[in-house]
Amino acid sequence: MLTWKEVINFSVKGNPIPDQRVEKTEAEWKALLTPEQYRITRLKGTERPHSGALCSIHEAGKYNCICCETPLFDSTIKFESGTGWPSFTQPIKENAIKYERDTAFGMVRVEVMCNTCDAHLGHVFPDGPEPSGLRYCINSESMQLEKGVVNEN
Ligand SMILES: [Zn+2]
């Protein structure tokens, strides 16, 4: 299980190697995504709280990257944070997510990106529920829910 210390280490010392990489030009991403999906994932935007379609969904399934379809999170690690954004306590796999120090807006935060295609997903904070203590705060627009049974492991 990932902890805050490991997240910080990834953001400072380098990220785990992804299983594969997907790289496209800005024009290719633009053609593939809606304007809002493009703004959030490729231009590091944020959707308004409580506006996202996946915020209050708790159906079983996997949450895949909207850009490259790589599984990022699943319903077994989703929790209701009350923040207005879909929230998770862990990534689906350690190397699914990449972390970067983000100092925008005069704050020091840890940005969360898809490790396969570098899509901006949201941020991770150390105030999540036990046992990991992590809260991945993710934009709905950057994911699509693939409904189905998820193996608990
Ligand atoms: Zn991706």
Taking the C-alpha atoms of 52, 16, 109 and 145 in order, what is their torsion angle to the nearest 10 degrees?
Answer: 10
Residue 2 is predicted with a pLDDT of 96
Instruction: Classify strands 143-147 and 97-102 as parallel, antiparallel or unpaired.
Output: unpaired
| Residue 62 DSSP class | E
Short-list 105, 89, 126, 92, CA closest to 11:
126
pLDDT tier at 62 (50, 70, 90 boundaries)?
very high
Residue pair 145/62 in contact (Cβ under 8 Å)? The answer is: yes
Short-list 113, 128, 143, CA closest to 81:
128
Which positions ≥6 away from 148 have C-beta within 8 Å?
60, 61, 62
Q: How far is the CA of 153 from the centre of ligand 1 (A)?
A: 23
Residue 20 is predicted with a pLDDT of 97
pLDDT in tens, 81-104: 999 999 999 999 999 999 999 998
Mean pLDDT for the chain overall: 95
Residue 131 has pLDDT above 90, yes or no: yes
pLDDT in tens, 7-30: 999 999 999 999 999 999 999 999
Q: How far is the CA of 86 from the centre of ligand 1 (A)?
A: 17
Q: How far is the CA of 129 from the centre of ligand 1 (A)?
A: 26
Would you please indicate which residues are annotated as catalytic (active-site) residues?
Answer: 137
